[in-house]
């Protein structure tokens, strides 16, 4: 993943984690393992933002798969 500078406004949005997207956000996975197709990027962002402090990322990925936000490749 290419490193890019971010603005001060964007800095507060950075939370870290192991859900990684490829460059065009068409696939994602945990720990740089691009194993899922992204079906609804905006829904994923909303879901992660709402649940990042409530459940582990592995559970979020499982739930997003069940919701259809992502699908197996």
Query: Which of 57, 25, 23 is closest to 40 using CA atoms?
Result: 25
Could you give the percent of the chain with pLDDT greater than 70? 75
Residue 36 lies in a domain: yes
> Cα(24)–Cα(60) distance, rounded to whole angstroms?
21
Residue 51 lies in a domain: yes
> Cα(51)–Cα(43) distance, rounded to whole angstroms?
12
What tens digit of pLDDT does each residue of 13-44 get? 655 678 888 888 899 988 766 689 999 999 99
Backbone angles phi, psi at 36, to 5 degrees: -125, 145
For residue 50, give its domain range: 18-72
The total number of structural domains in the chain stands at 1
């Amino acid at each position: 993943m290419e490193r890019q500078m971010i603005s001060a406004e964007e800095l507060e949005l950075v939370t870290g984690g192991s859900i990684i997207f490829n460059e065009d956000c068409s696939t994602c996975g945990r720990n740089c393992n691009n194993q899922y197709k992204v079906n609804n990027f905006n829904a994923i962002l909303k879901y992660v933002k709402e649940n990042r402090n409530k459940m582990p990322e592995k559970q979020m990925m499982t739930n997003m798969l069940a919701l259809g936000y992502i699908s197996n490749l």
